[in-house]
Amino acid sequence: MTRISPVGATLAVSGVDKTFTMHLQDGKQLPVLRGVSFDVHAGECVVLGGTSGAGKSSILKMVYGNYAADRGSVVVNVGEPVDIAAADPRQVLAARREAMGYVSQFLRCVPRVPAIHVVAEPLVERGVSIDEALDRAAALLTRLAIPARLWSLPPATFSGGEQQRVNIARGFITELPLLLLDEPTASLDARNRDVVVELIADKRARGVAMLGIFHDAEVRERVADRVIDVELFAPVLEATA
């Protein structure tokens, strides 16, 4: 497993602003976040709270690097610390490979690739042998109640719930020090929600730092060590003329 730095937070977000500039609407400025600052430590699950549209998802995406931050820093402290907000694409990709995983809301289906390979791929990309990766993928798919007869089929043909579970398996299969969870339990039934809660507990026990969004209050209650109210970072609306 990748080294986790013994001191300091695994993720340190500091003074981050985010404004969207809508060029297609005459350059309209849409300020979303101001002065976002928080830490996530190893072995802790921090949940972003707040109303819809408060910018929870934007924070997650700025940490992962698929949204740009206007200012501030997003430091991932694994091995050599990397400021995702300032890093070049290559460094961001390296941080994703070595340090952080992302469980998105939807599976972005790769055409023609069988489900079990979709799940195993993140391990293979990180140098795990194909046999071991497939074994671990099979174990996770079983745990998430995806019937074995579906494993060799491309997930594009699956139901929404099945796709989401394949996605979760893919997101949880790696052993990375930081895991970003973007509503992983949305559209799951109670049984599978429980499995995800268990998976999160396992990760926590193994010292993984997690940052997540959970709309389901019950799940949030069960997984969160801390909840950060994103509305604290709402921009002060300046009176417009």
Partner 1 sequence: MTLEQLHFEPDRRPLLEVRGAGHSYGERYGCRDVSFELWPGEVLAVVGESGSGKSTLLGMLSQRLKLSEGSVRYRLGDGDVVELSELSESRVRRLWRTEWGFVHQNAADGLRMHVSAGGNVGEPLMATGWRHYGKIRAAAAEWLARVEIPADRIDDAPATFSGGMRQRLQIARNLVVSPRLVFMDEPTSGLDVSVQARLLDLIRSLVAELGLAVVIVTHDLAVARLISHRTLVMKDGRVVESGLTDRVLDDPQAAYTQLLVSSILQG
Indicate which single residue of 112, 131, 147, 190 sits in contact with partner 1 (rule: CB under 8 A): 112
Phi, psi of 45 (to 5 degrees): -115, 110
Q: What H or E segment, with its residue span, contains residue 117?
A: helix 115-125
Question: What residues from 155 to 174 belong to the interface with partner 1 (CB under 8 A)?
Answer: none
Q: Tell me how many degrees the CA angle 109-99-169 measures, rounded to the nearest 5.
A: 35
The reply on whether position 127 binds partner 1 by CB under 8 A is no
Q: What would the two tokens of residue 191 be?
A: 């049984």
Distance between CA atoms of residues 228 and 29, nearest Å: 25
Nearest CB to partner 1, comparing residues 89 and 147: 89
Which residue spans within 23-131 are E strands per DSSP?
A: 28-40, 45-49, 71-76, 82-83, 100-103
> Is residue 80 at the binding interface for partner 1, with CB under 8 A as the rule?
no
The residue (of 151 and 200) whose beta carbon lies closer to partner 1 is 151
Identify which of residues 24 and 236 has a Cβ nearer to partner 1 in the complex: 24
* Spatial distance between the Cα atoms of 79 and 98, rounded to a whole number of angstroms: 9
String marking each residue 50-79 x if it binds partner 1 according to CB under 8 A: -----------x---xxxx-----------
Closest CA to 128 of 107, 104, 97, 102: 97
Which span sits near partner 1 by CB under 8 A: 17-25, 29-37, 132-140, 221-229? 17-25
Judged by CB under 8 A, the residue of 6, 52, 111, 241 near partner 1 is: 111
Binding interface with partner 1 (CB under 8 A): 21-24, 27, 61, 65-68, 89-90, 92-93, 110-113, 125
